[in-house]
């Protein structure tokens, strides 16, 4: 719950292990130190293969939302074309 005072995406601590960048080096834009970022990447990768898990579901929801928006826009365009 420790939010960066700057309010930007430049975090001082890793959101996974909570270590300060003084200890672990740079924190990525998504808020993870190199170790946690890599571990997360592997986890995401594994879930994409298994087609299940938290990241996979999030990914699927993201896709569904995107395509829904896409098709709504497309339908509007088609209607506009007459
Ligand atoms: Zn970390």
Q: What pLDDT sits at residue 66?
A: 85
CA 10–ligand 1 middle distance (angstroms): 14
Q: What pLDDT sits at residue 68?
A: 87
In this predicted model, what pLDDT tens digit does every residue of 30-68 receive, in sequence order? 999 999 999 999 999 999 999 999 999 999 999 888 888
Q: What pLDDT sits at residue 21?
A: 94
pLDDT band for position 82 (cuts 50, 70, 90): low
Q: Are 15 and 31 in contact (CB under 8 A)?
A: yes
Q: What pTM value is reported for the model?
A: 0.61
Please give the share of the chain, as a percent, with pLDDT higher than 70: 87
Q: Are 33 and 24 in contact (CB under 8 A)?
A: yes
CA 71–ligand 1 middle distance (angstroms): 39
- Per domain, the residue ranges of the chain are 1-50, 51-82
Rg (CA), the chain: 19
CA 17–ligand 1 middle distance (angstroms): 4
CA 58–ligand 1 middle distance (angstroms): 21
CA 19–ligand 1 middle distance (angstroms): 6
């Amino acid at each position: 719950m420790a939010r960066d005072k700057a309010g930007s995406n430049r975090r001082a601590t890793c959101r996974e292990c909570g270590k300060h960048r003084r200890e672990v080096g740079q924190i990525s834009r998504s808020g993870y130190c190199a170790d946690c970022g890599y571990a997360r990447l592997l986890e995401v990768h594994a879930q994409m293969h298994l087609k299940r898990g938290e990241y996979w579901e999030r990914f699927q929801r993201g896709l569904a939302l995107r395509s829904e928006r896409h098709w709504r826009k497309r339908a509007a365009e088609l209607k506009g074309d007459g």
